[in-house]
Structure 1
Amino acid sequence: MSARQVEYEVTLPVGHTDASGRVHRRASIRKMRGHEEALFYDPLLTPGRLVTELVKGCLIRLGDIDAITSDLVSQLYSADRNYLIVELRRITLGDQLQASYTCPSCGGETTVVEDLGSLEVRRLTNGSSPQAIAVTLEDGYEDRDGAVHREVQVRLPRGADEEFVSRTAEKDPLRARDALILRCIESFGALRRQALESYGIKILRDLTMGDRRLLYQAIEAQTPGVNFRRSIRCAHCNGQFSAVLEASGFFVLG
């Protein structure tokens, strides 16, 4: 009889940089247990915090870091956290996942059996560090003094950012997305950080829809990690549409 596998090694798309500057990308994880299942029924956990606690419970070590804490998992990039959730689902319940998508044209539901093992994973090359995403807006943002700002630099989001906007996401997903992007903006033209914080998400709401689309598309295209974007053929009208595989249904046991 073969030995039961307890640990599974995976390579994070980005990796965690410790205080000394070392990058840890190799992670050892274990299957989810009843302790992790119980987290889904904790009403005090927001979605962002739920991911943190799930990963913390199943992450055995990260590189040569054995002391896995909630704070450490909160500092991981969202790309790495999402990747770990996919891998936890795969080792715990298998690669096959039944997912439903709503056609934007006819409103019909199409059910697809997804193979999580075939999802594209974009990784940074060994030794490289995550770079800010640069976006040049077409119309830009006009500030109170009449100056127009078009050049935006956005850093990759971390778990702490997800946790910050998570409670808002349940009630207002658009506001949560804007708040997440705002937290990750490193520079916006010549605007000072104080001005960005003063304007709040208004600065994003004042952008034209074309510029907002440019910003969203650039972030999605340049962010490493699992590509959850799927191309779906509607079972009702036969139309082709793009949809996102939602991780929220990964661990439904019923």
Structure 2
Amino acid sequence: MSEMQYDWTFDSPAGGRQVDVLGDTQGATAAIQSLLTDSTGEPPAIPTPPDCLITLPAGLVRENYVITEAEVRELTGADEEALARVRSNPLRMLETLLELGTVRIGDVPATSDILPQLLLGDRDALVVAIRRVTFGDEMDFAEIGCPTCGADFSATISLGDIKSQTAEVGRLTVPLRKGGYAIVRYPTGADQAAMLADPKATNAEHNSTLLARCLVEIRDAQGNTKPGGADLAKSLGLADRRTILNQLAAKQPGPRLLEVSIEHEECGGEVPLPLSVADLFRDF
């Protein structure tokens, strides 16, 4: 059996000839020094990835305390494949995105049992954080129509500039049209899933489902109390239903994705640019 031989050679930067490391030590040293000299210079600019830790606008309630810290991670090619398979179903895509990109809530692993317990605003905050840690803070938009001057233009927005609001995890009191008030709780991911479970349901039926789950009780002007439920949600007047739903949307903690706007520099007009999960992950 012959002895194994190693041929350690590399190309010299001068003329491309090979240098025998063992037989020509001086030449090898000179070649290495030349390579080091040629490779020096300004290092490439590598953007710093956004922080993977975020503070939830409301948080996850656990007994007598609230967990507000969460960790997200960068999405991978395998995650892209998983998301592509469910893209036709917006709710399933959102749930898959959160399950893939969220690592933990406090010290609790972010499982399919935990994530639906979060308020919608907390889930939106996680989606924005996953987008930032995966693609960076900036988003480019082309052919935005300006309602002021009618021109189309391009713009870049910073996701870090999106306004957010906080709220205590608890119940909301909403005055009603004929006196009295409704006591409601903020909707969670589980409520959203129940509301969108039937793809053939109308918007009115979606609203009834959400109110049936989030309406705790009604107290009329005389002090009488009616417990929440499907029957009460359907018996409410249209004005009261809309008032409750509008208040839930307006005071929901979290990033105000639907209120994003940009200025058209050419005319100074303010242009609404509401964002959805599909907008944030439009490249998938």
TM over 0.5: yes
Matched, 1:226 2:226: no
Structure 2 unaligned blocks of 5 or more: 1-42, 220-224
Relative to structure 1, the CA distance from residue 231 to residue 9 in structure 2 (aligned partners, 3 Å threshold; closer, same or farther) is closer
Matched, 1:36 2:79: yes
Query: C-alpha displacement at 1:137, in angstroms?
Result: 2.0
2:86/2:92 contact within 8 Å kept: no
What is the alpha-carbon distance in structure 2 between the residues aligned to residue 111 and residue 171 of structure 1? 37
Match of 1:130 among 147, 169, 172: 169
What is the alpha-carbon distance in structure 2 between the residues aligned to residue 40 and residue 103 of structure 1? 32
What residue in structure 2 maps to residue 192 of structure 1?
Answer: 227
C-alpha deviations, 1:176-230, integer Å up to 9, x for none? 244323321111232233xx32355x335x423xx44433332233221111213
C-alpha deviations, 1:76-119, integer Å up to 9, x for none? 11111110000110111122224577788999977653321101
TM-score (norm 1): 0.73
Relative to structure 1, the CA distance from residue 199 to residue 134 in structure 2 (aligned partners, 3 Å threshold; closer, same or farther) is closer
Query: C-alpha displacement at 1:249, in angstroms?
Result: 1.5
What residue in structure 2 maps to residue 176 of structure 1?
Answer: 206
1:95/1:117 contact within 8 Å kept: yes
Greater Cα shift, 83-92 or 161-170: 161-170
What is the alpha-carbon distance in structure 2 between the residues aligned to residue 101 and residue 168 of structure 1? 33
Identity %: 26
Matched, 1:160 2:203: no
Relative to structure 1, the CA distance from residue 46 to residue 123 in structure 2 (aligned partners, 3 Å threshold; closer, same or farther) is same
What is the alpha-carbon distance in structure 2 between the residues aligned to residue 81 and residue 231 of structure 1? 21
Query: C-alpha displacement at 1:7, in angstroms?
Result: 7.2
1:78/1:157 contact within 8 Å kept: yes
* Aligned amino acid, residue 53 of structure 1: T
What is the alpha-carbon distance in structure 2 between the residues aligned to residue 111 and residue 175 of structure 1? 38
What residue in structure 1 maps to residue 121 of structure 2?
Answer: 79
2:52/2:129 contact within 8 Å kept: no
What residue in structure 2 maps to residue 11 of structure 1?
Answer: 55
What residue in structure 2 maps to residue 142 of structure 1?
Answer: none
Q: Secondary structure at the match of 1:70?
A: coil
What residue in structure 2 maps to residue 203 of structure 1?
Answer: 235
What is the alpha-carbon distance in structure 2 between the residues aligned to residue 212 and residue 239 of structure 1? 34
Q: Over aligned residue pairs, what C-alpha RMSD do you find?
A: 3.7
Greater Cα shift, 229-238 or 169-178: 229-238
2:83/2:97 contact within 8 Å kept: no
What residue in structure 1 maps to residue 138 of structure 2?
Answer: 96
1:11/1:26 contact within 8 Å kept: yes
Query: C-alpha displacement at 1:238, in angstroms?
Result: 8.3
What is the alpha-carbon distance in structure 1 between the residues aligned to residue 81 and residue 251 of structure 2? 35
Q: Secondary structure at the match of 1:114?
A: strand
What residue in structure 1 maps to residue 22 of structure 2?
Answer: none
